[in-house]
Structure 1
Amino acid sequence: MKNKLKIILLICSCSFLQGSCQQKNTAQMNKFEWLPTETAPKNYPVYLYKAYFTAEDNSYIRIPDKRTVYYGWGEIGSIHISGDDYKAVPKKMNLIWLAYTENKYYKAEVELPYKKIDSLFQLELKDPKTKNIQHFDYISVGIAPGGMITLWMIGTAYQIEIGTYYGTKTEVDFKEMIPTTNLSEKEFINSTLKDEVSDTVLKEIKTGNIPFDRWKNYGKKYNWKIVLSHKEEFVPGQAKITMVNGEQDVQYFDNDIKPILESWALPSSTRIQWQDKNGNLFAAKLLFDEQETTKAFKTLLTENNKEVVLKAHIGTFNDTIKTTLSNNGNEIELTKTQIKVYSKTD
């Protein structure tokens, strides 16, 4: 039911935001068409009790709260289509939440990089599918174990981290937080963990094994790029890269358009496109194994070898792909990469 509700909300928001986000200047204050959303890593849910932004004009912009959040790191969560279409740039964020896996409450009052957010809203982005100009549509609030908070700005094909912050432990009256439940605090937490956490992760949590540094480490950036190769003549198109830290960028192989990020975190997945010698269009989705990719990067990146190339080797008939990571003649095949190839008829 929760997933169905999320899908419905997302459909509504997509319809609502079909047009590109335009800037609106009101009394010397920039306003933009955007929506707040929230998320948390899968298997590490939180109950977001109170959440809102405060804008430059002292208006309050509510972040969807009063709910359990678990959608996945960097994902779009719930959407509230309410209030003015054009909203001021947020300058402050206030949150109170329950971390189920830690059985702890956190609060945060964060000053946001207002000028950075304002400039990103004004940035023109090229939609890799339609080639139309798009803008950032969402500000997503991600909450990870240990009181960690990461904010992203999200557009059609791009996602940029605004910053990472930390809340502090606090106390909350459970019955005040969820007055409608007949369960005790302990029963409520255990019930949610059973529903939203896999058995494997739940066993680790019960032994006190929570990877607090995982999401912090995701933010480490590297100097790398994607290259396509083919057994035959072909025209490489583009690669949309999703990274472990939740960011997304697009690499165009014709070099006319540069990526918006100067460096990237480790790749989580990528969607590549190309055209074969007969003019047929193809695409492929590559899903990387996190442990394998992390080990390969650490092996190749030394003080003397600071740049690596992630190469997708496309087979003669466009139906197979091998992925490797290499630099200075050293190469590691990423054998655990999950690959699915699509033709223009798919």
Structure 2
Amino acid sequence: MESDYRETFNKTVALLLILFLGTTMGSCQNSETKEKNLSETKNGMKKYEWRPTESAPKQYPVEIHQGIITCQDGSMVEIPSGGRTVHNGWGETGSTYVVGEDLKSLPKKLMLSWLSFTEDTFYKGDFELPTDKIKTLFDSGYVNHLGKQETYSNVVVGMAPGGNVSVWLFGADKSVEVGHYLAHSTEISMEEFNPSGIQDRKKYIAATIDYLPEDIKHQLKKEGVNKEIWNTYRKRFSWKFKYQFKNKSTPAEIRTKFYNGTHFYFKTTNTEINDYSQLPLPKQIGYKWYDSEENKFGADIDIDEKEIFLALKSIFKNSDDKTIDLIIEVDAYNSTVALSLQSENETIKLNKANINVYQTSD
């Protein structure tokens, strides 16, 4: 009886050991395989983990007819479409298809057609993407607000009035524009565009416009469609943040959304933003700091578009060769924040910014 027990025990241990070794070797092989896939494809091209997604300004909805990214190895990736109205915000991520391989070679070409509802216009374009630039950005990545290295996860394709197209690499804490293009107007029949739905184009467009929030409909009625602003949003200036306190506080983090659709979320000590850089103008800022007792505070700042562009026009009226400090000043009680733009010989306060100050924690 005892010998039978020992024999059974030994066989069980042996079986468990075999299963353990098999699992361990399989894990190592899977890890090695993934690492190999990450470094090269069958054509000797490096692969990256990214997904395509779509974007459009909130006040200018679009619907994609067809969107295809052709990759460096010849494979094709579809940009999500499927009859969805897109107006998620310029440069923001939209929907993604969780199909196909996670690891893909670099995007090389973009084929895109869509309906711009506010213009009642179809657009179409085929564009070469800057593969070398995209590769450099994927490889270098960035340091996030936690001080950790990471890279980009999405290729965002944005469509705006006038046929404007922007392409961004998007990560959780940073995005960067890699290309801007101009599509041409075209004609697509409703039978082709919406084969199983409404065939009356005017009715289809009116139904979508009617669904927009009232404030956006009011803005469209009052101001119309702005086809020219997109290059203005992309204009860059040499500037940096400057943090000032009327107490003994320390800056901690800065989160910024720019008018050109890009963003970053960094520690204020991040070397990317410690010196003057060619950047577009900020649209929204999230700022956090510590007081002398390590209490943490934050401020959400929505900048008034007309005010900041007028301020820049005043500062650069005589010369484009200037650097600017965007000053964020905290009062002695950590209760109010003031904004101003400062050049070598001029300071302009931004009094119309909407600022909400609060106490927070890590």
TM-score (normalizing by structure 1):
0.87
**Letter of the aligned partner of 1:287 in structure 2?**
D
Aligned to 2:235: 220
* 1:231 lines up with 2:246 in the alignment: yes
Greater shift in the superposed pair: 246-255 or 67-76: 246-255
After superposition, the Cα gap between the structure-2 partners of 1:284 and 1:297, relative to the gap in structure 1 and judged at 3 Å, is: same
**In 2, are the aligned partners of 1:150 and 1:164 still within 8 Å (CA)?**
yes
Q: Say whether the 8 Å CA contact 2:61–2:117 is kept in structure 1.
A: yes
Task: Give the C-alpha shift of residue 81 in structure 1.
Answer: 1.3
SS of 1:69's partner is coil
Give the drift of 1:74: 1.0
1:112-170 CA-partner distances (Å, limit 9, x unpaired): 11111111111131120x32221101110010111110001111211100110011122
1:222 is aligned with what amino acid? F
**Cα separation, partners in 2 of 1:75 and 1:47, compared to 1, 3 Å:** same
2:159·2:166 contact (CA, 8 Å) conserved in 1?
A: yes
Whether contact under 8 Å (1:96, 1:108) holds in the other structure is yes
Q: Which moved more, 1:168-177 or 1:196-205?
A: 196-205
**How many aligned positions are there?**
321
Q: 1:71 to 1:261 in 2, by over 3 A?
A: farther
Q: Deviations over 1:192-240 (max 9, x none)?
A: 11112622233247xxx32111112111001111111111112222322
Structure 1: how far apart are the matches of 2:80 and 2:273? 34
Compared CA separation, residues 45 and 268, structure 1 to 2 (3 A): same
Retained in 2: the 8 A contact 1:140–1:154?
yes
Q: 1:62-211, aligned counterparts within 5 Å?
A: 62-66=78-82, 67-128=84-145, 130-196=146-212, 198-204=216-222, 209-211=224-226
When residues 102 and 304 of structure 1 are mapped into structure 2, their CA distance, relative to the original with a 3 A threshold, is closer
Counterparts of 1:3-14 in structure 2, within 5 Å, are: none
Alpha-carbon distance change, 116 to 272 in structure 1, aligned in 2, over 3 angstroms: same
1:44 equivalent in alignment to 2:60: yes
Gapped runs of 5+ residues in structure 2? 1-36
SS of 1:102's equivalent? Answer: coil
1:16 equivalent in structure 2: none
Structure 1 residue ranges (4+ consecutive) displaced by more than 6 angstroms after TM superposition: none
Contact (CA 8 Å) 2:124, 2:183: kept in 1 or not? yes
Higher fraction of helix:
2
Tell me how far apart the structure 1 counterparts of residues 72 and 272 of structure 2 sit (CA, whole Å). 33
CA distance in 2, matches of 1:123, 1:200: 44
Q: Name the CA distance, whole Å, in 1 between partners of 2:110 and 2:276.
A: 25
Instruction: Return 149-158 or 181-190, whichever deviates more.
Output: 181-190
Secondary structure at the residue paired with 1:75?
A: coil
* Counterpart in the other structure of 1:15: none
Matched residue type, 2:138 = F
In 2, Cα distance between equivalents of 1:235 and 1:298: 32
Q: CA deviation at 1:261?
A: 9.5
Structure 2 partner of 1:247? 262
Q: What is the CA distance between 1:262 and its match in structure 2?
A: 3.6
Inter-partner Cα distance in structure 1 for 2:120 and 2:73: 36
Q: CA deviation at 1:107?
A: 0.9
The 1-side partners of 2:276 and 2:156 are apart by: 18
| 1:24 shift after superposition | 3.3
8 A contact 1:305–1:327 mirrored in 2: no
- Is the 1:39–1:72 Cα contact (8 Å) retained in structure 2? yes
Q: Which amino acid in the other structure matches residue 87 of structure 2?
A: Y
CA distance in 2, matches of 1:255, 1:191: 47
Matched-pair contact (CA < 8 Å) for 1:193–1:202: no
Rounded Cα–Cα distance in structure 1 between residues aligned with 2:276 and 2:150:
17
Give me the whole-angstrom Cα distance separating, in 1, the residues matched to 2:164 and 2:195.
27
CA change 1:256–1:104 in 2 (3 A) is: closer
Partner amino acid, structure 2, of 1:71: N
In the alignment, which of 335, 338, 344 is matched to residue 354 of structure 2? 338
In 2, the alpha carbon distance for the partners of 1:124 and 1:304 equals 31
Q: Which runs of 5+ in 1 are unaligned?
A: 1-21
Distance 1:292 1:76 in 2: 28
Q: Is the 8 A contact 1:252 1:258 kept in 2?
A: no
- How big is the shift at 1:249? 3.3
TM-score after normalising by structure 2: 0.83
Q: State the one-letter code of the partner of 2:221.
A: K
1:16-48 superposed Cα distances (whole Å, 9 cap, x missing partner): xxxxxx943223211111111101111211110
Structure 1 equivalent of residue 15 of structure 2: none
